[in-house]
Chains A and B, each alone.
Chain A
Amino acid sequence: MTGISIVEGTAVPMDRANVDTDQIIPKQFLTAVTRAGYGKHLFHDWRYLDLHEKEPNPDFELNKPEYQGASILLARENFGCGSSREHAPWSLTDYGFKVVIAVSFADIFYGNCMNNQLLPIALESQQMDVLFDAVKADPAVQITVNLPAQQVKLGDYRFDFAIEAHHKFKLIKGLDAIGETLTLQDAIALYERSIPAWRE
């Protein structure tokens, strides 16, 4: 898996709180047994007027011509709340998003992003206002996300963001998390020998 470091691009302003995983990718698309191809169903209920995805909803942000090709998604509080379905980050990355910037994220979704090279950035509400205003005023405005420097840049604005060191390392290096843990097999085996019979 390749790493993520600096992302420069335009953004889609999704000015909503509590964007849940049922909205990101509705249940009828969870019957697949592969990880690929979810992007076309991303935000299905909001994005299409019909069930067959033939009639795009012209009022929905993702369908507006000015937001095509964006790699950054802007949202408000509690993005990704709800189910643990990893189909949510799979559909966002398959669509072309590399970064989601929001006021806050649900825990499971945040963790799932880390395993899928999707960078979730939490910024203060007022900082989000700046980003929303700028993108709404000029959809072509470029936003630069610098993960090594932990900074979002837009024009003269510089917003620092927090991320745990191990998450940052994993996103930049594109590490195989399982391979990493497998190097600790001895410690796992040692632990297993200490487990009491009732917990087996």
Chain B
Amino acid sequence: MGKTLYEKIWDAHLVAQVGTDNLIYIDRHLIHEVTSPQAFSGLEEKGRKLRCPERTFATMDHSISTRSLALDACGDANKLQLVTLKENCQKQGVELFPVGHKRQGIVHVIGPELGLILPGMTVVCGDSHTATHGAFGALAFGIGTSEVEHVFATQTLKQGKAKTMKIEVNGKLPVGVTAKDIILAIIGKIGHAGATGYVMEYAGSAIEALSMEGRMTICNMSIEAGAKAGLIAPDKITFDYLQDKPRAPKGEDWDTALTYWQSLKSDADAHFDKVVTLHAQDIKPQVTWGTNPGQVVAVDEAIPEPQSISDPVARTSAEKALKYMDLKPGQKLSEVAISHVFIGSCTNSRIEDLREAAKVAQKGKVASGVNAIVVPGSVAVKEQAEAEKLDSIFKAAGFDWRLPGCSMCLGMNDDILGPGDRCASTSNRNFEGRQGRGARTHLVSPAMAAAAALAGHFVDIRELDA
């Protein structure tokens, strides 16, 4: 029997088997200020060394201001975390992209931009959205801080093998429907924990037609279905994206790599433990109504009636979510007024996302009473957007144009919502309190977020496109 892409990468990274443990080699270790300090200090306490500083790359993204380059702009605790990262990287010889560096940005945006993430690699980071890098056909997953320390010391991780799930999305996406809508529709279909214990591989003509940015959006949210990782087989779109990236292999190394990468796909007779199929033409613009990403409907559908949900646990969750979100069953999201819009995050802050949002933003002005911010994912994205004058479009429409960082996705800086605020957000989690205590988050695509900013409520982007 053939092998899945996951199995091929797994086999190529197996260092040793010790009992039931598999020791897997890690090619790239990305770190940021929030989940690394305790790993560095653990290493030091034990008198251990970082095994491969040259495979480790650091950025500042979570705790930084999006209004100022000053490290103390968000208080002393945030500053200490950033300074600690800087000191740790200096001490251990890790390359750092600090605030103010022309390559700084959200860890999952800059890794691909630099060409650090290549097909067939294993990639880890103390961050659950590491799954993003699966878009390159790399096995990428989030780890805890103890595991960060383990990778520091050994460049390996002990892992159990995951089950495999193939998600096939075939056909052509309707106008106005994006990668974000595909992944929200997938999570809506299989559920918030539907892929727990699995590595998902996204396939089918609708996935193959996506740009690398779109593929990253899809893989990024694999964790929101509970998956260990998400994968997309590399193809010409992947190779074209990588070819001119600064850290991608060059010359002979590129040729060797390319030959290997072309073999990186699941074999036709490979076995998947589960297969889920969606038809692209059935997918509509999505908006979450609840407090997990699986609680989602199409913008033209009504919020479901909890009584109609047969599973008692899901029913109770829906009731609690509607209470927190201050919404009613049967209501349409287009009737719900919003107070905030956040365009950014490792899910949707890349150049293509900003282009889509700007295309909508140029049609009007941010509605009165709505506070809208655009936070590019990296300095490189920001510069590209400014070269294309997207910043002028956003500013003219009344959006705030900010400095790169994780920002309001989780509000570890001062980009935070207040109780009762309602936000159309291009981020990845609509958990209670995620963007601020008592705040309500609705996950949408960049175009849907921009359209909501102009209207003051959710609108069906397809009607604007018509």
Contact = CB atoms under 8 A, between A and B. Distances in A.
Contact of A198 (B46, B81, B254, B320): B254
A88 B462 CA distance: 41
B431 A33 contact: no
Given A108-B143, A164-B160, A22 B433 contact: yes
Contacts of B54: 200
A71 interface: no
Contacts of B48: 178, 182
B193 A83 contact: no
B146 A45 contact: no
A45 B145 contact: no
Interface in A104-160: 104, 106-108, 111-112, 115-116, 125
Contact of B23 (A32, A82, A103, A187): A187
Interface size class of A (residues with CB under 8 A): 35 or more
Contacts of B223: 108
A31 B18 CA distance: 36
Contacts of B81: 31-33
A84 interface: yes
A125 to B, nearest CB: 8
B223 to A, nearest CB: 8
Contacts of B463: none
A2 interface: no
B257 interface: yes
B412 A81 contact: no
A107 B15 CA distance: 22
B331 interface: no
A26 B433 contact: yes
A197 B144 CA distance: 29
B190 interface: no
A45 B434 CA distance: 10
Contacts of A28: 412
A187 B16 contact: yes
A106 B185 CA distance: 21
Interface stretch (B95-103, B147-155, B209-217, B393-401): B147-155
Contact of A115 (B19, B146, B292, B432): B146
B333 interface: no
Count chain B CB atoms within 10 A of each CB in A23, A31, A32, A81 and give the residue with the most: A31
B431 A78 contact: no
B35 A188 contact: no
A31 B228 CA distance: 26
B411 interface: yes
A81 B192 contact: yes
Contacts of B192: 18, 78, 81
A52 interface: no
Interface of A: 16-18, 20, 22-23, 26-28, 30-35, 45, 51, 76-78, 81-86, 89, 103-104, 106-108, 111-112, 115-116, 125, 164-166, 177-179, 181-182, 184-185, 187-188, 191-192, 195-200
6 contacts: A28-B412, A115-B147, A182-B154, A184-B23, A188-B16, A197-B249
Given A86-B144, A116-B146, 16 more contacts: A30-B62, A31-B34, A31-B80, A31-B412, A33-B80, A51-B437, A108-B144, A108-B223, A112-B147, A115-B144, A164-B160, A178-B46, A181-B154, A182-B154, A197-B253, A198-B257
